[in-house]
Homo-oligomer: A and B are copies of this chain.
Amino acid sequence: MVQRKSGHVTLLDVARACGYSVSTVSIVLSEAPLSQNVAEKTRTRIREMAKQLGYHPDAFARSLRRRRSQTIGVLAYDLSDPFCIPIVQGIQSGLKPVDYLPLLMDAQTERKLFDNYLKMILERRAEGVIVIASWVFEETNLMADIEKNKVPIVILGRDLTRRKISSLCIDNRTGGALAMRHLHSLGHRQIAFIRGPEELFDSEPRWAGVTAAASDAGIEIDPRMVFELPSLVDPKSGFENGQKLARQMLASGRSFTAVLAFDDLTALGVVRGLNEAGLRVPQDCSVIGFDDVLPANVATPGITTIHQPLKQMGLLAAQWVLQAIEAREEAKPAPVEFQRAAPELVVRGSTAALQTNQGKRKSQRA
């Protein structure tokens, strides 16, 4: 075999090897319309030679010439958060049928990395961008560049419609209310709460849902039983903070029969914290989470939680972005989409009906 300067086999190599021109080979291998006119014999000859040499078309050259990258940038705030994974899967499933490649990037909750990757997405000429935002997502001038270059974008986990950006997030209000109503229906009246961190988009509406449902049910929330997560840095810190806050709850000496946590990892932390103090979930205290991520499902008892249809949300985001690309193709204006996905209560083992002696026992221990 000829020693190539670049390690890769090119069209020219194949052409020389079987005595045709580059054009013919290209036409055959890319299955262009013109390839009907190419003699059957030639076609098979070229194909065989290509396979034998291990030829693979150069995506760079092809994209450059075709002016299409067949790529969607997918920027996740933190892949180590189990929350992101089903979304990514959903996106993948939306992209596969149309043969778009997701360019998956993990910002690891670092603002600088986030910017960096956004730049790369632009440089790699992604035809669209999906951002899994949740936290760590402020306006950057990169975002302006994305718009300047007319790259369709969809934000997952935040409402940015006021910026005219298609967005998709969970209906936090309803979700919060669902969680609250579930505890209420089990008979719980003395409930401790852990709110999300202030800078997180989800925190406020979710809390609003909780308080609304509480007042509907005639429960008054003791502000001394409302705790707030400090700003999170990574998924595991949610667990640790839940654990710490559970200790604080117990140390406060006030009695409670249930804990409504901001998300699943916090809930898992609470369970741990309660257990360390000898309290069992759900017998001594019920705990409810939010998100329905894998660890909540495989822990024992399973964490009762508010399910987010993450896969479907990812799929929808992918469809929106594809649809926006198509619109741009036809020089039509792409609509700004928005949807609040419907949350669902998933009852598992971490919540149970209030026992008559439960409140007392708790205050004794504390």
**Distance (Å) between the CB of A109 and the closest chain B CB?**
11
Task: List, in ascending order, chain B residues with CB within 8 A of A124's CB.
Answer: 59-60
B300 touches A272 (CB 8 A): yes
Complex Cα–Cα for A301 and B265 (A): 14
**Distance (Å) between the CB of A316 and the closest chain B CB?**
19
Interface string of A237-280 (1 = CB under 8 A from B): 00100000000000000000000000001001101100100000
A residues 61-92 touching B (CB-CB < 8 Å): 61, 63-64, 67, 69, 79-80, 82, 85-86, 88-89, 92
Interface string of A137-173 (1 = CB under 8 A from B): 0000000110011110000000000000000000000
Known: A56-B145, A125-B8, A149-B7. A79 touches B88 (CB 8 A): yes
> What are 5 of the A-B contact pairs (CB < 8 Å)?
A58-B123, A88-B106, A236-B294, A269-B298, A272-B302
Complex Cα–Cα for A8 and B272 (A): 52
B92 touches A239 (CB 8 A): no
A219 contacts B by Cβ under 8 Å: no
A60 touches B69 (CB 8 A): yes
Known: A89-B80, A92-B108. A299 touches B300 (CB 8 A): yes
**Distance (Å) between the CB of A319 and the closest chain B CB?**
19
Known: A89-B108, A92-B108, A103-B103. A56 touches B299 (CB 8 A): no
Which 10 residue pairs spanning A and B have beta carbons closest together? A54-B148, A295-B295, A54-B145, A299-B299, A59-B123, A7-B150, A104-B104, A60-B60, A56-B122, A268-B298
Closest to A65 in B: B60
A residues 34-50 touching B (CB-CB < 8 Å): none
A297 contacts B by Cβ under 8 Å: yes
**Distance (Å) between the CB of A113 and the closest chain B CB?**
8
A57 contacts B by Cβ under 8 Å: yes
B54 touches A58 (CB 8 A): no
A9 touches B149 (CB 8 A): yes
Choice from B125, B271, B299, B328 contacting A268 with Cβ under 8 Å: B299
Complex Cα–Cα for A235 and B297 (A): 12
Known: A7-B328, A151-B7. A86 touches B92 (CB 8 A): no
Complex Cα–Cα for A297 and B236 (A): 9
**Distance (Å) between the CB of A61 and the closest chain B CB?**
6
B89 touches A85 (CB 8 A): no
A54 touches B144 (CB 8 A): yes
**Distance (Å) between the CB of A336 and the closest chain B CB?**
18
A residues 288-305 touching B (CB-CB < 8 Å): 294-295, 297-302
17 extra interchain contacts, Cβ-Cβ under 8 A, other than A56-B149, A89-B106? A8-B125, A53-B148, A54-B149, A56-B123, A58-B64, A58-B123, A60-B61, A82-B82, A82-B294, A104-B105, A235-B294, A239-B297, A271-B300, A272-B302, A281-B300, A295-B295, A298-B299
